[in-house]
A and B are shown apart, each in its own frame.
Chain A
Amino acid sequence: MKKYLATSVLVILLSFFWNCISFKSGSLFPSENQVESIHLCKKIDDSDGLLKPLDIQSEFTFKDDRVICFIRLKDIATKIDLRWKWYSPDKKLVRDTGNVIVSQGDRYLAAATAYDRLQLNPENIAEGKWTVVIFMNDKFIGKKLFQIFPSSPQL
């Protein structure tokens, strides 16, 4: 039995080495300033050093005071600024934060959090499907879609 097992292992190993293994070239690394997550939420927990989103959801009503778009970044090694743009259901820009500096790039940050909020005022906020997009150093990095209902979505 051991003979069969040893032969099988040898054959498989030989085929393995001859067919596919190569000695790897230089390692590849992703770029810094990675987006870890983007969430829509109602509240922010600021009790710790890094902010945390609370009540994460994608449906809101006018009973909610605001919609918060929260972003968490990691491996920040350069200067970065963020910009949020909020679009109404008819695809028009309603709010633009302009560039907000998050890191001066003078030191490495393992993680960073930031957010922007849209006040839900029925007089100037329409119900329907909204879009919020985030730019980092003027480059698009992500978007979230959310729905605004006049009252509770279950009703």
Chain B
Amino acid sequence: MNSLRSFIVVFFFFLFISAGLNASKMGLMNQASTKEETLISLKGEYLAYSYDFNQIYGENVEFKFSSYSVSCRHIKMDITPRIFYAYGDVIIEKGDEKLNGDEFLFDPKAKKGTLVSYGEKIEIKEVENDKKEIPWQKNDALNELTLAKIQKSLIYFACQTIHITTDFDVYGYNVTLFIEGLESVGFKKLRLSGGINQRRNGISLNRIWYTKSQGLIGRVSYFYEKEKKVNSLTQLHYEERSVLKNYSGLKRQVDVMSSTTINLKNDLNLGLTGNYNSSSLWNTLFWLNKNWSKKFSTQVNFSYNKPINLKGEAWFGLQSTIDTGKFGNVSFSGKYEIQNQMLTNFSYGNTFLKKINFRLSSSYSQIKIGESPDYSKIFSGGVNLSYDSRIFNVSTDYFLNYDLFGDQLLSQPQLRLGFNPFQFYGGLISASIYNIFIYNNMKKGGIEEDSYSNNTVLTLSTQPIFLQKGFSLNYNFSLEQFVEKEGRNFTTGGFIFKANKSIVKGISVQGLYSFQSRRKTKDWLIEGTTSQDLSAVLKVNPSERLNGWISFSYDPKNSQWRQSFADISVGIIRNWKLHSLVHYDFLLRKINNVDLYLIRDAGRFQLRFIWRSLSKQFLIELVPR
């Protein structure tokens, strides 16, 4: 009873918070929209806007396009991909000029349009369109946009006046809100598109929330964008924990995150990022990027990082990449820190004769060891040469790691050889084999140690073999042999046998038997383990509304049932569906976990009510898609 009451309180609180934020936003919007330029104003006998799909449908509509007045019987607009389409008795007028057509596809921002008439032939007229022609078939994408689809939205609005701003925000006047098809409250003016994907210049309050674990949470952000020039986002996150009972940690915490990029020229841009945390932790990065050509770029950067209770570090960096075409790609990066720390990296890569790849890399790091005056100095390098052919691939690597501080040198050559999967018996059986040999040499002080290992893997698999219509079998076999210098050898082998049987349309059963064995041998000692698994899956998919499977797992070695999983999804009404996941453990003889989902697919978002038995949690999620 208590949980039910909690649910009702939480649910309505959630609804009111959302509505309240929209309302307070709207207060600001009233001022904002008047400042913002209107791109297009629609007046119609009936206009409907779907919040789920960000789409508009209208009847007997009039609007202004460039210097023309347009009237039409129907209008369809898909705001996200920017498709605007009027059709049915389209009349476009300017002074004495009057154009008639059956459909009008237009771009209100570029102020160009295409008017099409269907008479004895298809006639296409360009309206204010001396630029590139709008493909007149583009509106084909709107075939799915119907009033029926809009009316099936979780949230849609109906009104007679809609304004779309230059930022493609949609405002409605005297709108009626419909939730799941039921007529709800009315609004004088509302930003209908107030949404999850759009960001506007200025300050916005993103979140005010309370949780038992974090206390009172607030998030504010400031966004500024100047097209192709400046893009800046600053976010402030505040947590007030003093309101929590029995909380002993920090009473409050502030996080500020800021990121700005400025394009000075097409080939020159700079950026500044900064993060601050009220526990005295902060860092900042400034970078300047120059593209000398499409194949040559350089970046210089400066960063400062202040960890908690440690001295701050200031790094200067330079990195450059050069694509020299047939002579290969070269990249270099170097960083220097004012306490004499440094990091450098160099790499070169090229492909010869289309199939031979060569890669060379080396790096050097000199990093302080804690607060001591000593530095860890490590030089490492690697060379890789590989060849790929239709039948096989071979690769050789040499890796070197030299710890100058610890006077330790590791060198590791490797050789890999693999045959690409090849088929025989008319493609019925496929086989592949792979081998890797690794040699290690370690020198530390005057001591030298070496070791080696070799691993060979063979796999065989069959295509599904149909014994009768709707009944097939397939088989996988693998064998792995591992040997090493110390004489510890492992042999691992196993197979998987699969059978599929279709019972009736939409119902099938799959059986799987797997056997795996691993043997370890050293001198006279042989030890190992085997495991077996027998499982069956029943799949049910008789219609779009019902989809699910149930699986059982059995251990033949110990004659024991193990576990069962079930996943069932049932469409209820409109776009609501019930989804459940169940896990039953035969060893513990209990249902281990039940997840229940009630999901509403609503175009650009999904509303989910979730119950998790394991954590005894009830969640409401609004997930953007």
Contacts of B425 in A (CB 8 A): none
Tell me the chain A residues, 1-50 only, with Cβ under 8 Å from chain B: 1, 4-5, 8-9, 12-13, 15-25, 27-31, 34-38
A1 touches B143 (CB 8 A): no
Stretch at the interface among B185-193, B264-272, B431-439, B461-469: B185-193
Which residues of the partner chain A approach B121 to less than 8 Å between Cβ atoms? 87, 91-93
**Contact A27–B210 (Cβ < 8 Å):** no
Chain B residues near A87 (CB, 8 Å)?
118, 121-122
- B4-43: CB near A (< 8 Å → 1, else 0) gives 0000000001001101111110110000000000000000
Min CB gap B255→A, angstroms: 22
- Residues in chain A near residue B147, CB distance under 8 A: 30, 34
Given A23-B186, A24-B176, CB of A38 within 8 Å of CB of B19: no
**Chain B residue at smallest Cβ distance from A87:** B122
User: Are B103 and A143 in touch, CB under 8 angstroms?
Assistant: yes
Which of these, B118, B148, B188, contacts A140 with CB under 8 Å?
B118
Instruction: Say whether A8 contacts B48, CB under 8 Å.
Output: no
Contacts of B189 in A (CB 8 A): 20
Distance to closest chain B CB from A65 (angstroms): 24
Most A Cβ at <10 Å: residue of B16, B118, B137: B118
A91 contacts across to B, CB distance below 8 A: 121-122
A102 part of interface (Cβ distance < 8 Å) = no
Q: Say yes or no: B46 contacts A31, CB within 8 Å.
A: yes
Query: Which residue of chain B has its CB nearest to the CB of A31?
Result: B59
Nearest chain A residue, comparing its CB with the CB of B118: A133
Tell me which of A18, A24, A131, A142 contacts B143 (CB under 8 A). A142
> How many residues does chain A have at the interface if contact means C-beta atoms less than 8 Å apart?
44
Q: Looking across the interface, which residue of chain A has its beta carbon closest to that of B90?
A: A140
Closest to B177 in A: A24
* Chain B residues near A12 (CB-CB < 8 A): 16-17, 20-21
Minimum CB–CB distance from A98 to chain B (whole Å) comes to 14
Quick one: CB contact mask for B431-450 with A, threshold 8 Å, 1 for yes?
00000000000000000000
Q: Would you call B148 and A74 a contact (CB within 8 A)?
A: yes
* Binary CB contact string for chain B from 109 to 121 against chain A (1 if under 8 A, 0 otherwise): 0000000001111
Q: Which residue of A lies closest to B120 (CB)?
A: A93
Per the CB 8 Å criterion, the residue count for chain B at the interface is 51
How far is A140 from B122 in the complex, measured between Cα atoms in Å?
A: 13
Decide: A15 near B176, CB < 8 A? Known: A30-B48, A30-B59. Answer: no
Contact call A27/B16, Cβ cutoff below 8 A: no
Q: Could you mark each residue 338-349 of chain B with 1 if its beta carbon is under 8 Å from any beta carbon of chain A, else 0?
A: 000000000000
For residue A52, CB closer than 8 A to chain B, the reply is: no
Distance between Cα atoms of A144 and B103 in the complex (Å): 13
Is there a chain B Cβ closer than 8 Å to A107's Cβ?
Answer: no
B60 smallest CB distance to A (angstroms): 8
Q: Is B165 an interface residue (CB 8 A)?
A: no
Asked if A54 is at the interface (CB within 8 A of a chain B CB), the reply is no
**Minimal beta-carbon separation of A43 from chain B (angstroms):** 19
B122 touching A13 by the CB < 8 A rule?
no
Closest to A28 in B: B158
Q: Which of B45, B118, B183, B245 contacts A31 (CB 8 A)?
A: B45
| Complex alpha-carbon distance, A85 and B121, angstroms | 10
Cross-interface CB contact of B183 among A19, A23, A27, cutoff 8 Å: A27
Q: Pick from A4, A21, A38, A143 the residue with the most CB of B within 10 Å.
A: A143
- Give B145 Cβ to nearest chain A Cβ, in Å: 11
Residues on B with C-beta less than 8 A from A93 are: 118-121
Given A4-B210, A145-B137, A25:B16 Cβ within 8 A: no
B residues 565-582 near A (Cβ < 8 Å) are: none
B527 interfacial contact with A, CB 8 Å: no
Complex contacts, A144 vs chain B, CB 8 Å: 140, 143
Judged by a CB distance under 8 angstroms, whether A141 is at the interface is: yes
Please name all residues of chain A whose beta carbon is closer than 8 Å to the beta carbon of B23 when the two chains form the complex.
15-21
Find out whether the CB atom of A140 lies under 8 angstroms from the CB atom of B185: no
Q: Give chain A residues whose Cβ lies under 8 Å from the Cβ of B190.
A: 20
Closest to B159 in A: A28
Find chain B residues with CB under 8 A from A133 CB. 102, 118
A29 to B60, CA, bound (A): 13
Of all chain B residues, the one with the shortest Cβ separation from A5 is: B210
Cα of A31 to Cα of B185 in the assembled complex, Å:
22
Contact A15-B24, Cβ < 8 Å, known A20-B187, A25-B174: yes
CA distance A132 to B377 in the complex (A): 74
Cβ of A24 and Cβ of B185 under 8 Å apart?
Answer: yes
Query: Shortest distance in angstroms between B104's beta carbon and chain A's nearest beta carbon?
Result: 11
Structural contact, B188 and A20, CB atoms closer than 8 A: yes
Cβ–Cβ < 8 Å partners of B183 in chain A: 27
User: In the assembly, what is the distance between CA of A93 and CA of B102, in Å?
Assistant: 15
Residues from chain A with a CB closer than 8 A to the CB of B243 are: 1, 4
> Is the beta-carbon distance between B188 and A22 smaller than 8 angstroms?
yes
CB distance from B475 to the nearest CB of A (A): 31
0/1 interface trace, chain A 36-78, chain B, CB 8 Å (1 if under): 1110000000000000000000000000000000000010000
B89 at interface (Cβ–Cβ under 8 A)? yes
Binary A-proximity of B69-99 (CB < 8 A = 1, otherwise 0)? 0000110000000000001110000000000
* Chain B residues near A (Cβ < 8 Å): 13, 16-17, 19-24, 26-27, 45-46, 48, 59-60, 73-74, 87-89, 102-103, 118-122, 137, 140, 143, 146-148, 158-160, 174, 176, 183, 185-190, 208, 210, 216, 243, 245
Binding site for B on A (CB under 8 A): 1, 4-5, 8-9, 12-13, 15-25, 27-31, 34-38, 74, 85, 87, 91-93, 129, 131, 133, 139-145
Known A12-B17, A35-B146, A36-B146; 4 more pairs at CB < 8 Å: A4-B243, A9-B16, A19-B26, A20-B26
| Cβ-closest 9 pairs across A and B | A24-B186, A12-B20, A140-B102, A91-B122, A16-B23, A22-B188, A19-B23, A20-B23, A19-B27
**What would 9 A/B residue contacts be, using CB atoms closer than 8 Å?**
A12-B20, A17-B23, A19-B24, A19-B26, A21-B185, A28-B46, A87-B118, A93-B121, A140-B103
